[in-house]
Amino acid sequence: MSESTTTCDEHGPPPDLEAQPVIVEVRNVNKAYLRGSHIIPVLQDINFDIREGEFLALMGPSGSGKSTLLNLIAGIDKVDSGTIVIGGVDITALGETELAHWRATHVGFIFQFYNLIPVLTAYENVELPLQLTGLTRAERREHVEMALSVVNLAHRMDHYPSQLSGGEQQRVAIARAVVTDPTILVADEPTGDLDRASAKEIMSLMCRLSRESGKTIIMVTHDPKAAEAAQVIRHLDKGYLNHANS
Amino acid sequence: MRTLKLLIRNAFRHKLRTGLTILGITIAILAFGMLRTMVNAWYAGVEASSANRLVIRNSISLVFPLPLAYKDKIRQVSGVTLVSWGNWFGGVYIEEKNFFPNFAVDPRSFLALYPEYIIPDLQRASFLNDRKGAVAGRKVAEKFGWKVGDTVTLKGTIFPGNWEFTIRAIYRGKDRSVDETQFFFHWDYLNETIKKTAARRADQAGYYIIGIANPNLAGEVSTTIDAAFKNSLAETLTETEKAFQMSFVSMTEAILIAIQLVSIVIIVIIMAVVANTMAMTARERIGEYAVFKTLGFGGWFIAGLIFGESLVISLAGTAIGIGLTFPVAAAFADYLGTYFPIFFVERQTIFMDIAAGTLVGIVAALFPTWRAVRIRIADGLRRIG
Ligand SMILES: Nc1ncnc2c1ncn2[C@@H]1O[C@H](COP(=O)(O)OP(=O)(O)OP(=O)(O)O)[C@@H](O)[C@H]1O
Ligand SMILES: [Mg+2]
């Protein structure tokens, strides 16, 4: 891998990935969907590693299987064959309930359409994943306020999603994703629904999470500008992975 | 705590839809409660009857009398503790729409047989001592503004003439199931007057009511009495007070069954309405449920959200419906008092309302929950946007 510069550099130097342990191992993963009586192969024999602290961008044309791959790594979809080992745990071997527990503690999710719960305030949305932990109310409050101040929205915590702009909603979603301090952050086109300025703001937030907090981030994006932030870029095409650095 | 807040906020997200659904449930519960109350009112006479009393009437029909002479023979039957008799008088107070039941009764035995009519001791004594005295129910006395000492004239229909009575006592029921709209006076007053005007109709009782020591022997006592008058000029038919009251109700049994069916149909319809609301709601929220699942919330949590929301809506409607049942029933009771002297919302009706409301909430949530829990997260998330 070449050491090309990224737009995240202003938030600190990139980690030396060669020296970092592997945190995600994707091995021989296959996934197909059934459409009527046709079997549509979506992912074919995918193999790659993600190292701790890596900021990976997954790119590729529409329908190439980016979201599918991300969902498999995040444990919200099941492989047909192959294994995905994350932090030493083979998540393809976990049952439904174990997987739910695993997600709650190890994965932070950021979606294209923010996916906040409209009847909950910013504060309550961020608190949601903490409801599944054993934290007390006071401890939860501490974490939520911390996460909201990271995304610079502590002053809006009593607002409902409908009272926030798209960019602000996405920042709340990011706070929700990081509040549990997960092992990996997954983001599916986090800037896909935003204007340029908001998108830039979100990307700079992602950079800070990567460079300042050392988060491992896997981000699907169409947007070459957004991909510039990533340290590693992988291209999916028709279900095959082409390894490439930007 | 947070979850409860979530349910309630979810339930009122579509204010119009939820409002209309709640309105529907309210009306259904109100209708259900009123129909049940009506059926109960219809059966009130049956419910109020005593297992210790038997009614003896002419076996041909209630309109034919029985000789007064039977009373001594009846008294001798073993197991009989008290014998009383009376006639349906059918008198009209001023005009026909002022209907209330009025009877000529043998006062002493009558009061002994009906402990559920509560009369102050002084009034009781003065009623017994006045041959033209009458005892009126609290409700009928209130309706016409009668007080003890007032003179009341009834126009005879079966027994012609204007009949004057003095109100000597006003009774109230020992509980709400007792009819307080009746009017009773001395049988002797009726009989002696008839003796002068229509002598061949004298000394005839419309019916006998007897007290028995042991309700379990009602069958035996009845058989013995009816056997004693077999092949006489007026054969008797003896039955329990309950069976006697039932014979009036059973004529309309078919209508009552129809009413009960309608009340069930109402609940089924509202079930479909709420189920439809919940199905629409859950369909819109598939993406949100997927988000909850993504974050690690389990199927039970999703089920709780949908069931909870469904129950919030159905029980809100039920509560309002129950709240409205009381004033509406009171208005009915005022308006239909002459047809349904006993008209009140029984506690059991409220329990049934709550059971029906809960059932509606649960049934309405079943299908949406099944779908929401079963859908794969990835598919649920694809529904967003
Ligand atoms: N549940 C499903 N059932 C059937 N086909 C599916 C399902 N999910 C995805 N697919 C198909 O799999 C292929 C890959 O889908 P995926 O969403 O992973 O693509 P993508 O690369 O994320 O595309 P985009 O850039 O448009 O988001 C597509 O052809 C899609 O239609
Ligand atoms: Mg996609």
* Interface contact B4, partner A, CB < 8 A: no
Q: What tokens were used for B289?
A: 């449920």
ipTM of the modeled complex: 0.93
Report yes or no on B330 lying in a domain.
yes
- Centre of ligand 1 from the C-alpha of residue B306, in Å: 29
Written as one string, the DSSP assignment of B66-109 is EETTHHHHHHTSTTEEEEEEEEE---BSSSGGG---EEEE-HHH
- Centre of ligand 2 from the C-alpha of residue A215, in Å: 22
Q: Tell me, what DSSP letter sits at residue A13?
A: P
- Centre of ligand 1 from the C-alpha of residue A67, in Å: 7
Q: What tokens were used for B167?
A: 């109100």
* Interface contact B10, partner A, CB < 8 A: yes
Highest mean pLDDT among B34-48, B125-139, B338-352: B125-139
Of the candidates B2, B291, B296, the beta carbon closest to that of A100 is on B296
C-alpha–C-alpha distance, residues B137 and B149, integer Å:
15
Interior/surface letters B108-135, b for 16+ CB within 10 angstroms, e for the rest: ebbbebbeebebeeebbebbbebeebbb
Q: What was the pLDDT predicted at A2?
A: 42
Say whether both B185 and B318 belong to one domain: no
C-alpha–C-alpha distance, residues B136 and B113, integer Å:
17
B273/chain A closest Cα distance in angstroms = 24
Of the candidates A104, A113, A124, the beta carbon closest to that of B385 is on A113
Residue among B330, B320, B307 at smallest CA distance from B354: B320
Determine how many CB atoms are found less than 10 A away from the CB of residue B142.
Answer: 13
Determine how many CB atoms are found less than 10 A away from the CB of residue B372.
Answer: 24
* Nearest CA residue ID for atom 26, ligand 1: A62
Report yes or no on B325 lying in a domain.
yes
B214's CB contacts (< 8 A; 6+ apart) are B79
B140 has pLDDT over 50: yes
- Which atom in ligand 1 lies closest to the alpha carbon of residue A71? 18
Lowest-confidence region among B39-43, B93-97, B356-360: B39-43
Which site among B18, B294, B301 would you substitute to test the A interface, given the most A Cβ atoms closer than 10 Å to its Cβ? Answer: B294
Cβ proximity of B203 and B191 under 8 Å: yes
Find the domain containing B32 and state its range. 2-44+252-381
Q: Which residue has the tokens 């008198």?
A: B91
Report yes or no on B55 lying in a domain.
no
- Which atom in ligand 1 lies closest to the alpha carbon of residue A220? 22
A78/chain B closest Cα distance in angstroms = 10
3-state helix, strand, coil in chain B (%, to 5): 60, 15, 25
Compute the average pLDDT of residues A202-210: 94
* Nearest CA residue ID for atom 25, ligand 1: A62
Helix (H) or strand (E) holding A234: strand A232-237
Compute the average pLDDT of residues A138-161: 96
Smallest CA–CA distance from A188 into chain B, residue = B381
C-alpha–C-alpha distance, residues B36 and A124, integer Å:
45
C-alpha–C-alpha distance, residues B260 and A100, integer Å:
48
C-alpha–C-alpha distance, residues A212 and A150, integer Å:
11
Say whether both B11 and B68 belong to one domain: no
pLDDT band at A93, cuts 50/70/90? very high
Say whether both B93 and B208 belong to one domain: yes
Residue among B131, B192, B210, B208 at smallest CA distance from B165: B131
Cβ proximity of B357 and B314 under 8 Å: yes
Say whether both B33 and B77 belong to one domain: no
Say whether both B20 and B88 belong to one domain: no
* Interface contact B8, partner A, CB < 8 A: no
A129 interaction partners in chain B (CB closer than 8 Å):
295-296
Indicate the pairing of strand B207-212 with strand A22-35: unpaired
* Interface contact B298, partner A, CB < 8 A: yes
Compute the average pLDDT of residues A199-218: 94
B46 has pLDDT over 90: no
- Label residue B220 exposed, middle or buried (CB < 10 Å: 0-12, 13-18, 19+): middle
Which site among B291, B295, B374, B382 would you substitute to test the A interface, given the most A Cβ atoms closer than 10 Å to its Cβ? Answer: B295
Q: What was the pLDDT predicted at B251?
A: 59
* Nearest CA residue ID for atom 18, ligand 1: A65
Say whether both B30 and B86 belong to one domain: no
B16 has pLDDT over 50: yes
- Centre of ligand 2 from the C-alpha of residue A97, in Å: 25
Average model confidence (pLDDT) across chain B:
93
Q: Which residue has the tokens 């009458």?
A: B134
Q: Do A76 and B294 touch (CB under 8 A)?
A: yes
Structural domain total, chain B:
2
A240 has pLDDT over 80: no
B292-344 pLDDT, tens digit each: 999 999 999 999 999 999 999 999 999 999 999 999 999 998 888 777 888 89
Report yes or no on B53 lying in a domain.
no
- Which atom in ligand 1 lies closest to the alpha carbon of residue B379? 1
Residue that finishes a domain, picked among B175, B201, B234: B234
Could you say which residues from 360 to 379 on chain B have a Cβ atom under 8 Å away from some Cβ of chain A? 376-378
Cβ proximity of A11 and A208 under 8 Å: yes
CATH architecture of A9-245: 3-Layer(aba) Sandwich (3.40)
Report yes or no on B103 lying in a domain.
yes
Compute the average pLDDT of residues B232-254: 85
Say whether both B33 and B152 belong to one domain: no
Cβ proximity of A114 and A172 under 8 Å: yes
Pocket test for ligand 1, best of A29, A40, A235 (most atoms within 8 A of CB): A40
Q: What tokens were used for B61?
A: 């029909």
Q: Do B377 and A77 touch (CB under 8 A)?
A: yes
Q: Whole-model pTM?
A: 0.81
Q: What was the pLDDT predicted at B201?
A: 87
Compute the average pLDDT of residues A6-16: 87
- Which atom in ligand 1 lies closest to the alpha carbon of residue A65? 18
Please give the interface size between A and B, counted as residue pairs whose CB atoms are below 8 Å apart: 62
A132 interaction partners in chain B (CB closer than 8 Å):
295-297
Q: State whether residue B157 is helix, strand or coil.
A: coil
Residue that finishes a domain, picked among B201, B234, B267: B234
B55-72 pLDDT, tens digit each: 999 999 888 999 999 999
What single-letter amino acid sits at A240? Y
Say whether both B292 and B149 belong to one domain: no
Q: Tell me, what DSSP letter sits at residue B225?
A: H
Average model confidence (pLDDT) across chain A:
93
- Domain edges within chain A: 9-245
Q: What was the pLDDT predicted at A1?
A: 42
Say whether both B107 and B206 belong to one domain: yes
Q: What was the pLDDT predicted at A89?
A: 96
A30-89 pLDDT, tens digit each: 999 988 899 999 999 999 999 999 999 999 999 999 999 999 999 999 999 999 999 999
A238 has pLDDT over 80: no
Q: Do B296 and A71 touch (CB under 8 A)?
A: no
